[in-house]
Structure 1
Amino acid sequence: MASTTSIISGLSHHYVRKSNSSLHDISSQDSQKSPRTSTRLECKPRMVINKMILNNFKSYFGEQEIGPFHKSFSAIVGPNGSGKSNVIDALLFVFGYRANKMRQARLSELIHSSQGCENLDSCTVEIHFEEIIDLYGSDDFEVVPHSQLVISRQAYRNNTNKYFINGQQSNYTEVTNLLKGRGVDLDHKRFLILQGEVESISLMKPKAPNEHEDGLLEYLEDIIGTSKYKVPIEEASEKLENLNEERSEKLNRTKIVEKEKQSLEAKKKEAEDYMRDENSLALKKSIICQKHLLKCKNSIDISTREVNQLRAELREEEEKHAQIKQDNKDLEDKYGESVEAYQELEKETNEILKELASYEKENINLGERKKHAISKRKKMMEAISTDRHNFSEAKTAIKFNEQDLVDQMEVMTRLERSLGAQEIELEAIRESLKGKTEVYSIQIEEKQRELSPWSEKINAKQSAIDVAQSEYNFLKEKIDSTRKDLEQAEETIASLQETHRTKEQEILSSKNRINATKREIQQIDTKLKNYHRHQENLRSNLADARQRKDEAKGLLQSFQSRDIILNSLMKLKNSGRINGLHDRLGSLGVIDDKYDVAISTACPALNDIVVDTVEVGQTCIDYLRKNTLGRAKFILLDKLPVMNMHPIPTPDNVPRLFDLVRPKEDRFAPAFYSVLQNTLVAENLQQANKIAFGKTRWRVVTLNGQLIDKSGTMSGGGGKVIKGAMNSKFSSDVTPETVEKLEQERNHLEEQWKKFNEEFRSLESQLQEKKNELPSLELELSKLEMDSNTCVKRISDTEKRISDLRQQNKPNVEDVRRMEQLRTQIDSLTQELERLKRQSSKIEEEIKSLQDKILEVGGDRLRAQKSKVDQIKEQIVITNERITKSQVAKSKAEKDITKFENSLSKNKKELEELDNEIKELTEEIQQNAEAAHSIRARADETKSILEDKKSELDEIKEKLDEKTEIINRIRAFELEIKNKLEDSERSLLEHKNTEDKWKNALCDLSLHNISDDEEQDEFQLYTDDELDAMSENTILGEINVLEERIKNANPNLSVLNEYRKREKEYMLRAKDLEEITTKCDECKNEYDSLRKQRLEEFMQGFTIISQKLKEMYQMITLGGNAELECCDSLDPFSEGIIFSVMPPKKSWKNISNLSGGEKTLSSLALVFALHHYKPTPLYVMDEIDAALDFRNVSIVANYIKERTKNAQFVVISLRNNMFELADRLIGIYKTYDKTKSITINPHEIEAQSFLES
């Protein structure tokens, strides 16, 4: 230790940088140095470590550079604890090892943490690699250009780390892959030989006791590379074992099946003989089928000729009458155009008539207004005349009353004079009788004097009464005059109202007639519309009736012309000889005609015959066979399985054929389902493809007969489709009576059609009449409405006059008050007058009594005179009354003159206005009449054209009806031909169906494939001549013989199936056995090949390593011997490898029994041998010489020095015998708890010392 430290200290001033010169590579065959030359060695470039840069890594503080290293042998020296082993830890750190491999628990503990440097964040190690090419005979080398490689790893305080390659961040995988690619053995760590691990090689067992440990065998296999075969060999071994077990199982099964097959041989032969008879029977029946097909072919040829002939006849008939049909179509088009033109002209005429009616209505209105105005003028003239007459009468009254007043005044004067004279004469008579009457006279005078105040009072009262009564009568007459006018006006309005009511009733009646006409028009129009719809329905019903009649007739003919087989069986059923036979399946259900083609294409089994039981079916087959009627297929209702026939969801909700079929009875539904299953119906092929090839496969048929099976195969379609397999009506429902009834229905509908057309034309005529009648009714209504309006207007005017008269009749308040006053005054005066008269009546009676006495005294003369005086007095009273009356009349006449003057002026003005109105109305009526005349002329013209158009339309209609009748006769004839054609086509179809049945029967014939060892029978198709030459009776006789033999035979046919199953199973078992045997052989070959290849490769490497081990050990120990031996010489992998050593001058021993130094030498010899076998560019050894004495250390050091030329050795050693031989010394020392390094080139020091000495 002291000597090492002194050497480092003494040589510290000789620190050198990286030199271009390197240590010599030592050849394994020549221990002497070769002459120095500049010639390259003929070898590949190898990777070496140039230097290492440690930054804060473990004991290295700051950035510390270690190196440069020599290309071959570098020794790291330094005192214990200085940090030598940290150099190896730095290598392991960069090579990706975990912290525990570097004697630390975590990565963060790798960061330098000496006193004062406790808080460093990270540590980094960089290793500088480069590739070199050694130069022959020299320590020199050439660096391969651009081969420098810097790999670094950085660890952080948080225990994370990063990898870098040439300064670029990388990862563990890239770094390790890169190093492995450059030859560094990171898997087995042969580049690293640590202290104590050298002896671990010697402690290896020959073979690992389990998969988690390593033995010497595994160690060598990993190096040689044969460990890669271990897993494939184990897998192959396991596979081979499994295959052998499987083969044994299959072999046993094959033997069992073979034994079962052999037990069925006898029964199989009996069944094959039976099947040969059936083959012969099928061949005979094939001939019978072909003979029937020949007959069908001949019938088809005849029917085809009939069909072609009828088609030609129909085509000829259609071509012959094509022109007539075209003429009828042209006439229909012309009739349609004429109807449109007629309707347009009728519309135009109606518009003109409406316009004319409007003018006439206006003319009537104007006439009524004029009539009203003339009436008003007439009344006004009457009023003016009345006013003039009244005015004249008033004037006359004034003159008369004035004259009467004069006359009455004269009379009054005359009467007063006469009264005076008569009173004088009376007085004279009284004077003459004075003596006799004086007493009485005095009494009378006294009484008269007594009466005089009362008389004055009575006269005054009477005079006041007369004046008041006169004034009262005047006012009353004034009021009574207005009342008379009002009463007259009220009588007039009552008359007008009665006239208006009459007019309103007439209007209502007219409106009712118009509404009734309109309703009739609407009803007729509705009837016509209904007739149009009914016409379509009747036409459709007639067409349906014709179709039903034709279909029923066709069905009846079809029913009557069923094929021979079905007819024979149905006759047998009807005779009661077979119970449980129903009919062909297609006749036991119906389907809409829309799906006829679809179901006929999708279900050929509709021609199968439905029976109840197997026995019924067998009876039918026996009958057909006995009578040589051919073959038929039967559906056995009692053998049909129970099936779910409920509706199912379908793609796009397309219908299922089975759901569209309506069975005759529910018990036939399973039969239909058994042949239809879930076949769907699509509208077209595109939809069918979409459904058929969807996620779920479906069997789909189109309406045109294109069929797609679940397997994807497509059939059907084309020019000729299959139809008629099922009808829309049960054929058993159609009888001759049904056909006759349907024909009667058709005839009845044709009669209805004819009658309907007549009614239709009658309704059209009625509609036109009503439409023509309507304008005149509307014109009459318009006139009535105008009259009514005139009445309303006159009533309004009269009401207005009545209102005015009522206003006039309404007494003046002053007049009424005055009349009331006068009435009161008169009543009061009359009462007073009566009171006065009562009061004075006694005096007057007394005077009258006295006067009577005087008259008695005076005699007749006095009485006569007295009478004269009284008469004159009475005349004076009457005259006074007349004077008063004349005065009142005169005053009234004067007031009337003023009134009549005002009324006359007003009426004259209104008369002038009415004259102007009448003039204007006359002019308007004239203008309106002229316009109406022009429109009426147009209306007459359009009516004439309309009538002509109607005549033309009727003429075209008549021609069209004639043509239609001809077309109907033609169509009836064509329909007859079509019916014949349909019958022929139906007959042709039946022959074809019969042919198809025989073809199906022929196709249904099958030959048993009896044995693969004998020649198989085949059906032969014969020519027509060959078939004619064959005797049908002979063949039928042979058939009967064969059928009898087959019937009497009682083979167990199921044996054939069982035998075939066993044979097939045997073949399958044999094939499986052969296949598994082949697999076993292949697996065995593979297994053997892998073992052989592993053994050969291992032994080849093992031999080289063992031989080199012997050489290395002899060289190191100078005479010892070492060998690697297989525990089992035949199989080295069974027991493993033994490492035997014979140290110099000792016996052979197992390596585990050697001393420590001997174990180290033995292990080193193996390491060097392995290096020879598989070199690695880099070796790092940590104090491997610790257990060796100085002699062995020198031997190992010299070997490393002299014998390695293609690898770089970095050796940590404290033995001078070792490091003194190194080409480069790297000193490691520690100061202040921080490690540092120094690199020394011993050759330069030696040369310098030589020069100094």
Structure 2
Amino acid sequence: MFLKRLELYGFKTFSQKTEIDFTRGFLAVVGPNGSGKSNLTDAIRFCLGEHSVKAMRATKLEELVFAGSPTRKGAPYAEVTAIFDNSDSVLPLDLAEVAITRRLDASGDSKFFINRTACRLRDIHEMLMGSGVGPGSFSVLGGKEVDMVLSTDPKERRNMLEETAGVNRYKFRKREASRRLEKTAANLTRLYDILRELELQLEESEKQLERYRKYREAQVELKALELELAIQEWSRLQQSIEELRAKLAKAKAQVAELEELSEQARHALEAASLEKRRRDSERERLLAGCAELREKTSVTRANLDSLVKRRNELEHSALNAEARLASADQRMQDCEREFEAVLAALPEAAAELAASKEKLQQARLDREQLPLQGHSPHAQLRQRLAALEKEQHQGLGRRETLRARQEADDERILELIEKRETARKELMEAADESEMDSELVEQLQEAGTLTAQVEAEKKQLEQQLLEVQQQHRELERQRRPLVSKLAELEALLDDGSGLPPAVRAVLQWKDPGMMGLLGQLVKVPNGLEQAFEAALGGHVNDVITRDRRVASNLIDRLKQERIGRVTFWPLDLERMPPPPPQLPDRRGVVGLALELLGYPREIESVLGEMLGRTVIMEDMPTALQLYDRCRGRRPHLVTRQGEYLNPSGALTGGAARQNQSGLLSRRRLLDEARQQLQKQEIELQRCRDREERLLAERTQADQTLQAAREAFRALKGELADLEADGKRRNQDRERLQRGLDKAEEETKMLQQRSQAADLELDELEETLAKLSVKKAELEGQLTQFQEEEARLQTLREELQGRL
């Protein structure tokens, strides 16, 4: 084995990673002072676990880390790795090369590695022992250490040689083996002590084991009963679950059926609503057609009246024309007769012809000055009169049309007002129904709130019931060890376990003159059992008898059966009560033993003999102080922990064995167990009562919830029906509102048209009055012109006749 390579980083002057290879044989490192030659030996020592900082020429480990220079940055840590050639297996590792690494942080903490695996410094020392480079060897020596080796004493030189020869490894193993042997011997001693202690407790442990076996049998039987009870409960719950599942399936089927019926009713309602809307639109269209027909009928009626009047006027004109024609025929006949007369008078006329030519010329001039037929004022008046009559007839027709339309509008207005009132009534009824719907919604919300409250109360009751059941199970779980502990303690007291065999035998005889053990007759305050057990000592197992005869008989029987010895206290013997102890003060005093103890009045004299001068103290220091303050006859002093100070000054104390208790402690434990069990029984009974009350309340809540859910479902069904009716009513209300708005608009339009018609009628009446006046004037002028025309016609005819 030899050092093969050395790797350095951050160690002293090696700021950068540096690797130095070593070969077999002699190797010298030369250089000027301060070049770092000694740092190599320090690095090897550092890597091999050198503790002495002084040996590495430093004052503290942090100085071994390169701190930096003006041109180079300091290193975060110092690390040195020494790689050894282990081809000859000197080191106890199956490797050809072994790398030992030590890393030093800037904080001074070191970490060690073997082949880059973290390890302890102890592991490195154990590995290097016997190799010649282990701790205490002189494989690495400084310049001054050579003289020290040469001048050292023979003992240290021997250690060096042993380390070099590899003897220290075996010495270290020997020391380790000796240390382990010593530790094993101590453990064996301890085991012997434990074995002796266990042998002393073996008899009591066997009894406890027997009781434990009985307890385990009872536990097994209890678990079997609980399992059977749980199975019965599980069967009942399964049956309830099946019933609830059947009810749930039935309820789901009913819900599905009701939903299907509701869907069918909704479709039917929608179809009926569509049919009603179609019929309403058809009715509105027919009403609009009727109104249009009424208006056309009124116009036609007015035109018909105008035509009738025109026909009457034409008939009247025809009659007048016929009359004038008859008059013209008559005149024609007269003219013919006159013509005949003229022919008769022609000769006379020839004479007058010449004279008449001049008159004719004059007449022609006069005739030319007369207006032409058709261009006379009479014809113009007739034309104006005809136009005026036509205009009058048109005005009358328009007036009749307006009156007819106004009557129709009035009827329509009345119809619209009636329809509007009907719509308003229906809207009011719909509003009332909406209020009823709102009341139903409020009732549904109240029912939902009530259902939610009942469900919340039920959940709360179930949670409380679950908590009570858990509490019940917890109390049962706590009760079982109490029952077992109570049975164990009662068994201990009944069979006399822990009592001397002679006392146990006397108690089994059950002599009527025997009152019992002293420890069974007294009642010790809580916390003072150890004190009274120390004060009474072996008297706890003394037997109290009613007289000396019973005590003598029992002693004779003990002698005959060779059972043992027992101390008896006959009550018929006279005993002088000892004077009470005289205490200088009561500092640290709990009380006098007789004043603290509870006991029957019959055994007061016996207890006076035993505890008449016993004082219970808080602790031993206060007892010692009271002992020093007392003068004369000192009392017996006993502390709470059972330490005893005799009047002679003898001290008794120490620690009792574990799980070892006297009769008084067992009685206290028995009383405490009984009290705890009684409390548990009371708590269990309260828990059972509360569980029964919660079950009753849950049943009541289930009934209430069922009723509330049924009421909620009923209200929900009614609300669904009402919602369908509400949708229909909303549609009807919207339709009515639209119809009402349309009626309002139509009424306003009709009223405006009626007002316009009234204005137009007034204008027509005024125009017709003016036309009547103008017609009268024209008719007067026509009459005058007719008369003038008749005169002119006569004159024309005369002139024509003359011609």
- TM-score class, shorter-chain normalisation, is 0.3 to 0.5
TM-score w.r.t. length of structure 1: 0.23
**Greater radius of gyration (CA):** 1
